[in-house]
């Protein structure tokens, strides 16, 4: 079975709708026909300041949300990144294989560091795409389900895998990004020129999965659209409405064309109201399932311990091969 791997940061308690539609939903689908590894990437979270207790709590909440969203520990391997030390170990090796200029070209780093200023930007934030490369290559992943913002990092991953394979010997599977066009970039509800984002969106533009559904419903209803009134799909001229149509389509399973037909003669308000209802219908049971995992920490720990053990079995094998290829002396 093809191998799939992806991760999500526990940087805030709740995932947002972009995280879910862009990534997590695909994780759930892909666990059926693939050998899937999914993780909460706490090592990545500390590239920016984290309060220790909050980080611990958010890591639990993140794992619970993944289960709430439909990951089944019987069908996939779910684990916490720091439970598998091989990530940091292969990360170092990948750092040594990556050119400084190559890393400096990563647009996510440029954007985030520009916002923070160079004194507040950690070296970890600079090298986080390289740790991500290690995350992926350790598992010999064939496909990596992510949102559009990760495409450039995936290209670097492919380059590094090929570089290692050429320099030493064929070792790593060269992975492909798995990016679904329709949901690859969910936009900020208040600023449809930007992606929905934990750190950059205004509270009204960001739909958090763990917020009261009523609060989110209000955000859909006050989403920024345009001065026209006809519901039609045009990513450039009608970015806001098109974003709402894409979200509707993802949640309802109806095609965009069908939706445009359905809203013919109706105003934007009808689309927003329907979307608020659809979201509430989906998010209410999601929250209930997430809560059951949070209320049973022993069960959550059990699932994560099994996941870490399965992950380590694969990761340690890859790392041992890499150490050998590089020329590290085996301990006796």
The CB-of-22 to ligand AQP minimum distance in angstroms stands at 2
CA dist 99 and 298 (Å) reads: 44
What is the longest distance spanned by two Cα atoms in the chain?
76
CA dist 142 and 136 (Å) reads: 9
Q: Is 112 a catalytic residue?
A: yes
Per CB under 6 A, residues contacting ligand AQP are 8-9, 11, 16, 18-19, 22-23, 146-147, 149-150, 184-186, 195-200
Residue 57 or 316: which CB sits closer to ligand AQP?
57
Tokens of 324: 């050998």
Residue 59 or 164: which CB sits closer to ligand AQP?
59
Residue 149 or 277: which CB sits closer to ligand AQP?
149
199 marked among binding-site residues: yes
Residue nearest to ligand AQP (CB): 22
End-to-end CA distance of the chain: 35
Tally of helices (H runs) and strands (E runs) in the chain: 14, 5
Q: Is 219 a catalytic residue?
A: no
> CA neighbours within 13 Å on the CB side: how many for 314?
22
When computed from its CA atoms, the radius of gyration of the chain, rounded to whole angstroms, is 21
Which of 110, 181, 185, 195 does the annotation list as catalytic?
A: 195
Residue 14 or 98: which CB sits closer to ligand AQP?
14
Which of 110, 115, 185, 198 does the annotation list as catalytic?
A: 198
272 marked among binding-site residues: no
CA dist 89 and 317 (Å) reads: 13
CA dist 151 and 160 (Å) reads: 14
149 marked among binding-site residues: yes
Tokens of 286: 């999601």
Q: Is 195 a catalytic residue?
A: yes
135 marked among binding-site residues: yes
List binding-site positions.
9-11, 18-19, 135, 147-149, 186, 195-199
List binding-site positions for L-tryptophan.
135
Active site (catalytic) residues:
112, 195, 198
List binding-site positions for ATP.
9-11, 18-19, 147-149, 186, 195-199
């Amino acid at each position: 079975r093809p191998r799939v791997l992806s991760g999500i940061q526990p940087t805030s308690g709740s995932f947002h709708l972009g995280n879910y539609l862009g990534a997590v939903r695909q994780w759930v689908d892909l666990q059926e026909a693939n050998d899937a590894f999914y993780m909460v990437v706490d090592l990545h979270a500390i590239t920016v300041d984290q309060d220790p207790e909050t980080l611990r709590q958010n890591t639990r909440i993140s794992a619970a949300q993944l289960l709430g969203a439909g990951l089944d520990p019987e069908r996939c391997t779910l684990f916490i990144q720091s439970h598998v030390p091989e990530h940091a170990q292969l990360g170092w090796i990948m750092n040594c294989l990556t050119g400084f200029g190559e890393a400096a070209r990563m647009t996510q780093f440029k954007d985030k560091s520009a916002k923070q200023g160079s004194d507040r930007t950690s070296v970890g934030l600079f090298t986080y795409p390289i740790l991500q490369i290690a995350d992926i290559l350790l598992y010999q992943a064939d496909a990596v389900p992510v949102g559009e913002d990760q495409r450039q990092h995936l290209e670097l991953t492919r380059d590094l895998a090929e570089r290692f394979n050429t320099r030493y010997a064929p070792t790593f599977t060269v992975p492909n990004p798995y990016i679904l066009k329709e949901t690859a970039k969910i936009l900020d509800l208040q600023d449809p020129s930007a992606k929905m984002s934990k750190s950059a969106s205004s509270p009204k533009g960001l739909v958090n999965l763990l917020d009261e559904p009523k609060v989110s419903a209000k955000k859909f209803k006050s989403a920024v659209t345009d001065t026209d009134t006809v519901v039609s799909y045009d990513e450039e001229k009608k970015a806001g409405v098109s974003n709402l149509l894409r979200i509707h389509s993802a949640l309802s399973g109806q095609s965009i064309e069908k939706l445009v037909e359905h809203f013919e003669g109706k105003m934007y308000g009808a689309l927003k109201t329907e979307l608020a209802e659809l979201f509430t219908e989906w998010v209410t049971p999601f929250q209930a399932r997430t809560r059951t995992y949070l209320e049973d920490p022993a069960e959550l720990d059990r699932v994560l311990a099994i996941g870490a053990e399965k992950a380590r079995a694969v990761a340690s094998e890859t790392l041992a091969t890499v150490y050998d290829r590089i020329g590290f002396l085996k301990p006796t």
